[in-house]
């Protein structure tokens, strides 16, 4: 077989609950806009370790993962690559500060989310806010 094997890239996103809101980052790189903190899982790294690392790199916050929320895998979720993201919910104390590939990190509430929100993070956030109100998770 001469065709090179292609597989989706594994990523994590972390919905960080802090001070009655959640932390979003403004991206330095394309696509520009606001996103849930997260990134690629390194080879040899667990998704949990990647989630804590990416949250710290982008928000300067030490997070405590409270639960795995859902896994998003629509091949169209990221126009750059086919990615699969395991989304975690975490808590943190303190004020976020954008770092690494985050231009800025700020706290938002459901009624004041910034625009544009990139990737499928708008859908993830809608699912999260439904979950917080009703306990219902997304369905496959």
Residue 119: closest CA among 58, 77, 72: 77
Residue 21: closest CA among 92, 107, 94, 120: 107
In which element (H, E) is residue 23 found?
A: strand 21-27
Q: Which residues contact 140 (CB under 8 A, 6 or more apart)?
A: none
Could you confirm whether 104 is annotated as catalytic?
yes
What is the C-alpha separation between 114 and 99, in angstroms, rounded? 19
Options 45, 48, 57, 104, the catalytic residue: 104
101 — phi, psi (to 5°)?
Answer: -95, 20
Beta-bridged to residue 136, according to DSSP, are none
Annotated catalytic residues are 104
């Amino acid at each position: 077989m001469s065709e090179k094997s292609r597989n989706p890239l594994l990523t994590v996103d972390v919905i960080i609950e802090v001070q009655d809101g959640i932390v979003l980052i403004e991206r330095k790189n394309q696509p520009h806009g606001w996103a849930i903190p997260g990134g690629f899982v390194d080879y040899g790294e667990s998704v949990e370790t990647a989630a804590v690392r990416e949250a710290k790199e982008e928000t300067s916050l030490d997070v405590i993962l409270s639960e795995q929320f859902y896994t998003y895998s629509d091949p169209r979720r990221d126009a750059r690559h086919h990615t699969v993201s395991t989304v975690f919910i975490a808590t943190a104390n303190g004020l976020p500060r954008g770092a690494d590939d985050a231009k800025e990190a700020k706290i938002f509430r459901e009624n004041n989310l910034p625009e544009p929100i990139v990737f499928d993070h708008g859908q993830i956030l809608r699912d999260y806010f439904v979950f917080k109100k009703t306990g219902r998770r997304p369905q496959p």
